[in-house]
Structure 1
């Protein structure tokens, strides 16, 4: 889910991302409408939000906040009703993501590097070691 979230949030100038925010939004809506709230879906949801939440908020603003309310009020409620103590950490993590507005922070690694370090680095002329 982190990989798909990374695809959704990737923006490259001059390149159309066919798995951009529109597809991420559609996926998230289908996910919440069709899959049951359990440990597996909670972990998947958390991974996706951590990676793609920033760009989804950036594009959808108030609609994304409404979706987070649905997650908080319905999805997390369904998880709590299972009364499984093993789910407490993931419930807390998702709830913290929402309450602490973590979606406002740009995820680490969001911006792709525009140049390769190898093109800026050359052989060390003093050591006499050549790179091929």
Structure 2
């Protein structure tokens, strides 16, 4: 079944990305993705927007943002128009860590997809993911 092969490919790629980011930059994959989404959004997102962008629930994104804040990679800010709204804002250190980690992420993604091609069941999916 194609879905099962997709799940297998996803798990392999995620595992390789996680190892590379943790080993090289002290970042988990979710942390990297959060920094990436914040940077792409101009530096800040409401907590719910960040949760939606990452496919996380509110509780999970709160814990994730707490880890990023503890590391000095993000900070929280209240919405000036709606004091109940809370933003997660990437810091200068967060941008620097993201910039350092991006090449590792890209190399590891390419390597993970290349390794997956060794499995003939996954080759068609890798081709599809690569856009070839």
**TM-score normalised by the chain length of structure 1:** 0.27
Larger radius of gyration between Structure 1 and Structure 2: 1
